[in-house]
């Protein structure tokens, strides 16, 4: 009897790394389950929050052992692909897995797909998916024999962001502050300090991710700055929160794309130089104000960016319409369909 095939997803998440890779891979996994009756297995380095997210979503969590050498890591990945009868391996990691490993895995008739991968191993993949960021065009592709797919239609969002209606509160403006799953650089606190410089004629809604570690410090800060608002943590239905938001202060990553899909005008802070280059697309498309890498941003400049959006409803409307025209929330479904078809599962 032929062994039942599976789909493997290799990704990691933690307080230090953030949870963006896990969250977007879960979105792809859910779309796969809607399309085919095959087990989807996550291969992830152990982190309690990431493991809980994966297990609570109904997927198998297969912890990555601690290896001494890259060769042992490569052999383990190849062994998983064989032992678990993988039809496809989806990679969304920024680690040292070598290009050679992908070639070995493909030799077992496993379709390998990479998501937003800048490393050389992308050249050995069957499928390579990217959002519309400038870094993709700068990478060398002459030795790539797979299929390269770049665009807003491959931005991965959770299924809750499909077909939402934007209904912003205008009479009592709501400023949403949300910096992803863990906020390792403390951008939430930075945003609140900037908001404290403005006249308090708006409502502040702070959403802390599930891996945020010091919610009490944020509560004290809100009280100290006399900001009018509320603090939420571990929100499940972020789309409902976002669609009633006047504008947001966010960090670049999954959160910024989710806000754009809903149509929320936003002021974006970037964690790294690489993020800052990618987030520049939002500014060029006219769907956000991008402040740059947070280490280069002064509080008064951040406050001015927020105030500009608060005082200009016409600008907010233009941003909202353009953002919704670019993102329809179907990226996870698009990727799942392409991967399954390439693997012969559809």
Class of residue 305 by CB neighbours under 10 A (exposed 0-12, middle 13-18, buried 19+): buried
Structural domain span for residue 110? 6-157+329-342
Query: Domain check: are 188 and 143 in the same one?
Result: no
Q: With CA atoms as reference, report the closest residue to 175 among 193, 209, 214, 201.
A: 201
The count of structural domains within the chain is 2
Q: What is the pLDDT along the chain (346 residues), one digit of tens a residue?
A: 467 899 999 999 887 788 889 999 999 999 999 999 999 999 999 889 899 999 999 999 999 998 778 889 999 999 999 999 999 999 999 888 989 999 999 999 999 999 999 999 999 999 999 999 999 999 999 989 999 999 999 999 998 998 778 888 667 899 999 998 888 899 999 999 999 999 878 999 999 988 788 899 999 999 999 999 999 998 989 999 999 999 999 999 989 999 999 999 999 999 999 999 999 999 999 999 999 999 999 999 999 999 999 999 999 999 999 999 999 999 999 999 999 999 999 9
Angle in degrees, 0-180, between the axes of helices 215-224 and 187-195, rounded to the nearest 10: 10
**259 falls within a domain:** yes
Q: What's the whole-model pTM score?
A: 0.89
Query: Domain check: are 106 and 171 in the same one?
Result: no
Distance CA 16, CA 185 (A): 9
What CATH number is given to the structural domain containing 19?
3.40.50.2000
Query: Domain check: are 181 and 69 in the same one?
Result: no
Class of residue 121 by CB neighbours under 10 A (exposed 0-12, middle 13-18, buried 19+): buried
Distance CA 82, CA 88 (A): 11
Q: Which two tokens stand for residue 177?
A: 């502050």
Q: For residue 214, what are the contacts with CB-CB under 8 A and spacing of at least 6?
A: none
Q: For residue 14, what are the contacts with CB-CB under 8 A and spacing of at least 6?
A: 45, 47, 49, 50, 182, 211
């Amino acid at each position: 009897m032929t062994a039942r095939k599976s789909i493997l997803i290799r990704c990691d998440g933690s307080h230090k790394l953030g949870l963006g890779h896990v969250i977007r891979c879960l979105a792809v996994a859910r779309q796969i389950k809607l399309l085919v009756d095959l087990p989807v297995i996550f291969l992830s380095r152990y982190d309690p929050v990431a493991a809980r997210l994966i297990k609570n979503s109904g997927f198998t969590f297969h912890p990555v052992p601690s290896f001494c050498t890259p060769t042992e890591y490569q052999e383990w990945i190849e062994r998983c692909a064989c032992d678990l009868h993988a039809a496809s391996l989806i990679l969304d990691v920024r680690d040292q897995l070598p290009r050679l490993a992908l070639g070995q895995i493909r030799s077992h008739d496993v379709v390998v797909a990479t998501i937003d991968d800048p490393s050389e191993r992308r050249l050995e993949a069957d499928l390579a998916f990217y959002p519309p960021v400038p870094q993709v065009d700068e990478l060398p592709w002459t030795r790539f024999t797979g299929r390269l797919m770049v665009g807003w239609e491959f931005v991965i969002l959770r299924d809750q962001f499909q077909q939402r209606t934007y209904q912003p509160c205008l009479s009592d403006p709501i400023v949403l502050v949300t910096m992803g799953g863990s906020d390792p650089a403390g951008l939430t606190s930075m945003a609140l300090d900037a908001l404290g410089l403005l006249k308090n004629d708006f409502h502040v809604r702070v959403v802390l991710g599930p891996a945020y570690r010091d919610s009490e410090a944020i509560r004290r800060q809100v009280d100290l700055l006399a900001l009018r608002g509320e603090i939420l943590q571990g929100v499940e239905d972020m789309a409902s929160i976002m669609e009633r938001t006047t504008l947001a202060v966010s960090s670049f990553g999954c959160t910024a794309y989710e806000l754009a899909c809903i149509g929320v005008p936003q002021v974006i802070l970037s964690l790294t130089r690489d993020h800052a280059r990618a987030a520049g697309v939002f500014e060029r498309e006219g769907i956000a104000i991008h402040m740059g890498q947070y280490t280069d941003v002064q509080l008064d400049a951040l406050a001015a960016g927020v105030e500009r959006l608060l005082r200009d409803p016409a600008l907010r409307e233009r941003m909202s319409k353009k953002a919704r025209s670019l993102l329809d929330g179907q990226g996870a479904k698009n990727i799942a369909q392409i991967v399954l078809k390439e693997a012969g599962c559809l």
